[in-house]
Amino acid sequence: MNPAPVLSLGAASRTELRRPSPGFTLIELLVVIAIIAILASLLLPVLGKAKEQGHRARCKNNQRQHTLALLLYADDHATKFPVWPSIGANWAWDMHTNMVATMAAYGPVDPKMYYCPSFVQAQDVLKWWDYGLNSGNAALRCVGYVFLVPRAAGSIPAQFVQTDTTGTSAKSPSDRELVVDITPSQGPPSYTT
């Protein structure tokens, strides 16, 4: 019996038979990073839209909470909404501190609930909340919603004001707006139907 021939590999052949290391090459890593960057650039606008939709939902909820507070007040006061006291400037977004206390008794307490969340994100809300107090009018809060209820001094056109919870010939109670979103600014307010 002849033994099987033994193959001998030289030193050069051994290095050629080594397997490559399991790591990634630089090109592979750059391709993966580029793909992730492209996917992120596609996803960021969608996330921004979703965030704004969340702000709108919170804004609607703030308006709903204020409306419920007004309706609870009217329920306790023979269907009449509270009358806004006169406070000097009488801008649509001016709110007497007595009115703030009345609203807090029936619902919203947090100052942020008096502003649209999109506005809150961009502004220092307490600056607006304390605007009247800091300008020498201790009875004034500047808010981000207009409450369409009677005012001692008329700063809102009469066709927009709701005096009570009973229906009128123009609109039924469920079709009327009591709280609308605004953005406080300089200059006179503009009303549209």
Answer whether residue 172 is part of any domain. yes
Structure tokens at 106: 């029936």
Answer whether residue 14 is part of any domain. no
Answer whether residue 59 is part of any domain. yes
- Checking if the pLDDT of 10 tops 60, the result is no
Answer whether residue 63 is part of any domain. yes
Residue type, position 171, single letter: K
Question: Tens digit of pLDDT for each residue in 97-119?
Answer: 888 888 888 888 888 888 888 77
- Checking if the pLDDT of 83 tops 90, the result is no
Q: Indicate yes or no: pTM above 0.85.
A: no
pLDDT score, position 169? 42
pLDDT score, position 128? 76
Listing DSSP states for 98-159 in one string gives HHHHHHHHHS--SGGGGS-HHHHHHS-HHHHHTHHHHTT-TTEEE-SEEE-S-BSS--S-GG
- Residues of the domain holding 147: 38-181
- The whole-number average pLDDT for the span 6-27 is 64
Answer whether residue 2 is part of any domain. no
Answer whether residue 19 is part of any domain. no
Answer whether residue 139 is part of any domain. yes
Count up the domains in the chain and report the number.
1
- Checking if the pLDDT of 55 tops 70, the result is yes
Answer whether residue 175 is part of any domain. yes
Cα dihedral value 177, 179, 182, 188, nearest 10: 80
